[in-house]
Amino acid sequence: MTQPDQGDIIDGVHYHQHDIVIVGAGGAGMRAAIEAGPSASTAVISKLYPTRSHTGAAQGGMAAALANVEEDNWEWHTYDTVKGGDYLVDQDAAEILAKEAIDAVIDLENMGLPFNRTPEGRIDQRRFGGHTREHGKAPVRRACYAADRTGHMILQTLYQNCVKHGINFFNEFYVLDLLMSEVDGIERPAGVVAYELATGDLHVFQGKSIIFATGGFGKIFKTTSNAHTLTGDGVGIVWRKGLPLEDMEFFQFHPTGLAGLGILLSEAARGEGAILRNADGERFMERYAPTIKDLAPRDIVARSMATEIREGRGAGPYKDYVYLDITHLEPAVIDAKLPDITEFARTYLGVEPYTEPVPVLPTAHYAMGGIPTTNNAEVLRSNTETVPGLFAAGECACVSVHGSNRLGTNSLLDINVFGKRAGNNAVAYAKTADWVPLPEDPTAGVRRLLDHVRGGDGSERIAVIRRELQEAMDRNAQVFRTDESLREVGDLIKTLRDRYRNVQVQDKGKRFNTDLLEAVELGFLLDLAEVVVYSARNRKESRGAHMREDYPKRDDKNLMVHTMAYLTGDAESAEADDHIKLDWKPVVVTNYQPTERKY
């Protein structure tokens, strides 16, 4: 085809050209944009307005060994990250995360982020689960924070700085395809195709470097802290292009979601001294993690809570939750450092945290797995080979810096450290790269997808299929798993995929057709849930957030490796065993050999 220029409209399709095209306007996407914008023409495409991105829901803090409050150093932070991830962490990536954490916090401070302060005026720090001094001897104050609204403050600060740099934002544009073209025998990204919500028009964004920063996919579960928009679009697009996904079986369940709702109460509460109690009022974490108790890593706390409930010590009329108790804390401390947490408890459960314990239950929170990348945020097409010009950062990516269980506060750190690296490396690549030609009829695939969904006249409803998927994932693939439970949900996903081909979208229009886009998002959810379940069935061990009751031990001899899943056929028309192939990638070990995790 004749290559269009910036601003062309051909057959109703709008064409754009930017050196750097960033998909996603959360923390990782905007941090990348701040690095890229001053040096190259940069476009940020987002299905939301940037300040509504899910980074804004992060509450507790961002880890960095500043040692402002007590002795600390980056090596202890590295050790905690590796041990917390149950030794599936690539240790060279963890070293980068911990070393560059200090500059990442100072960068945000210089951008204007209003961190809480010590009386001396330094950035204040508090305790968080799994963070210790002297390689596990005692908890340490490492989390830099802005009350319990740290993510919100980071998001606002990054957006203001993007505006200052004149970044081009395309808000309420849904990216639905990654365009690839062969150059010198190698498949390279040429751009992306986006659907404009306001008009229903299609837009092609041609870029020399493409960065995916689209967040997680927690909506495969019913009980989740994730926003409704976290449907894994970016991860699903990459998957459908035949590129691998890494460690998808590892999904973190945050211990303290509001019971029955999943709305998150930050680990900051336990950092300030909150205590988990069972129906008898017992501080049960003393039995499971006698050294750091309620500040153990999230996988350990979540399993401990689930065990208490299973063994009959749960609270409430159905004995199906435990309590988070902050009644012993001074109201002034609660108001100053935990205002959102207390407001959530009052608003959604009618509980007064000053005087009553708050009912909590583990909730699906964070995907450790995703698009595999190098430490420079370059996307991998195999264990060692990268895709030139394609980058990923944030929750959609797997560096792997979180291994099989992410430590609290390391996600806000991850988006800043690796978002920055993605931006810098994307610019370096774009400076010497030529434009990759767009394929013939670049919007053909998206048109087929939308026409198929919009034109369907079947009897199935999107909401019904989505609810059945989410309930089955909660029931069979949550804190505890077995081969039987995973097989059950895997079989259901095949059935739901058949039913998905028979969905009907009631809104046939073009403008603001959220019904249409929810149907497309459901397709991504089905794809990713299937990869999660298939990868989990094939990891016959328990490690981090992946707890197999039929394989309760960690198997370092055979499974100290990353899972690499590949789509080998058409996901829409094949059985899982036919279209998903698994491979393994070695874990990078530098200083810390696997040992038993004791807290």
Catalytic positions are 298
Sign, Cα dihedral of 242, 249, 192, 30:
negative
Beta strand 275-277 with 202-212 is: unpaired
CA dihedral defined by 226, 229, 231, 233, rounded to 10 degrees? -140
CA distance 491 to 105: 46
| Distance from C-alpha of 199 to C-alpha of 176, rounded to nearest angstrom | 16
Neighbours of 550 (CB within 10 A): 12
Rounded CA separation 256/8 (Å): 50
**Phi/psi at 262 (nearest 5 deg)?**
85, -10
The CA–CA distances, whole Å, from 383 to 245, 283, 456, 576 equal 11, 44, 40, 22
Whole-Å CA distances, 535 to 303, 306, 568: 20, 23, 15
Tell me the three state secondary structure of residue 564. strand
Q: Which of 583, 201, 194, 185 is nearest to 388 (CA)?
A: 185
261 Cβ neighbours under 8 A, 6+ residues apart: 223, 348, 349
In 3D space, the residue among 499, 596, 580 whose CA is nearest the CA of residue 536 turns out to be 580
